[in-house]
Amino acid sequence: MSDSHLELTGVDIEFPTPKGPFQALDDINLKVDEGEFISLIGHSGCGKSTVLNIVAGLHQATRGGVLLDGREVDQPGPERAVVFQNHSLLPWLTVYQNVELAVKKVFKGRMSRAEMRDWINHNLALVHMDHAAHKRPDEISGGMKQRVGIARALAMQPKVLLMDEPFGALDALTRAHLQDSLMEIQADLGNTVIMITHDVDEAVLLSDRIVMMTNGPAATVGEILPIDLPRPRDRLALADDPAYNHYRHEVLTFLYEKQKKVEEIAGSSAETATSQTKASGKAKERVA
């Protein structure tokens, strides 16, 4: 039927709230080719993370669905590895063990012990973290943790790499450094990537296409901007490049003119709804 690698068709999602269902996403359609780097950009609360979570299988679309290589996505799985915003490393395991947990699960029976060890070390080397393999997450910096998070995701050999604002919590210099690393890795491995970002420069620099989302509720794809800049891309050279600046301008225009945020509070309700469902059943009385 369809020959695209990843396809979102008519995705709607509603979250139950005390005031009735809240529609966060409305009719999201997107086709992604193999090896493509897609950025999702939009104001906070527009449901970018929800889109990513649906592709990851962590949320189920109310209507519509996701096809990966012709198969429907109905649960999370390592072929759609996620790099979480706050790294989500297990604090009781070393850097090596964190990656090992993923490798053991994904390649069990397909790799020997020695092969697994090499593969883990290979992925840590890819993100330049091989020197800290035996440190725990609380002994390394935020940027390093995020590198390990990326290594863990890459080590699963995913068909699609999903990144939820991977560099959002980092300082500007570390972020630039990691963006360059990510570009190198993606050039080497040719991963299909969907990345959520708030950062216009990051989106233009890294992406093949930028998917710009309208404001919620009932957010949808506003515009899709193909970025036709030659790779490898160099941030210094691009700073003065007219094409690069034109793309930046396009994204900024979309965000600050076409989808200007009218009211801060109204827009954040989508995130409130998601976090409510996440938190439900969590707030238990602590009895000591």
By CB under 8 A, name the binding residues for another protein: 56-58, 75-78, 80-82, 84, 86, 88, 90-92, 101-102, 105-106, 136, 156, 278-279, 281-282, 284, 286-288
Q: Cβ of residue 285: shortest distance to another protein, in angstroms?
A: 8
Angstrom distance (rounded) from CA 175 to CA 145? 12
Q: Cβ of residue 251: shortest distance to another protein, in angstroms?
A: 29
Residue in the structure block whose two tokens are 């995130």: 271
User: At 126, phi and psi to the nearest 5?
Assistant: -60, -35
Q: Cβ of residue 235: shortest distance to another protein, in angstroms?
A: 30
> Which residues on neighbouring strands pair with residue 83, listed in sequence order?
163
Tokens, residue 49: 């993370």
- Running DSSP on this structure, what letter comes out for residue 219? B
H/E element, 145: helix 142-155
Nearest residue (CB) to another protein, 168 versus 238: 168
Nearest residue (CB) to another protein, 105 versus 258: 105
Nearest residue (CB) to another protein, 21 versus 91: 91
Angstrom distance (rounded) from CA 71 to CA 124? 31
Nearest residue (CB) to another protein, 38 versus 106: 106
Could you tell me where the beta strands, DSSP code E, fall in 154-203? Answer: 160-164, 192-197
Q: Cβ of residue 142: shortest distance to another protein, in angstroms?
A: 15
Nearest residue (CB) to another protein, 38 versus 81: 81
Nearest residue (CB) to another protein, 19 versus 286: 286
Nearest residue (CB) to another protein, 88 versus 174: 88
Contact 81, 156 (CB under 8 A): yes
Considering only CA atoms, which of 189, 184, 183 is closest in space to residue 203?
A: 183
Residue in the structure block whose two tokens are 């889109």: 51
User: At 118, phi and psi to the nearest 5?
Assistant: -60, -40
Tokens, residue 74: 């109905």
Q: Cβ of residue 165: shortest distance to another protein, in angstroms?
A: 13
Q: Cβ of residue 263: shortest distance to another protein, in angstroms?
A: 28
> Which residues on neighbouring strands pair with residue 6, listed in sequence order?
32, 68
Q: Cβ of residue 206: shortest distance to another protein, in angstroms?
A: 22
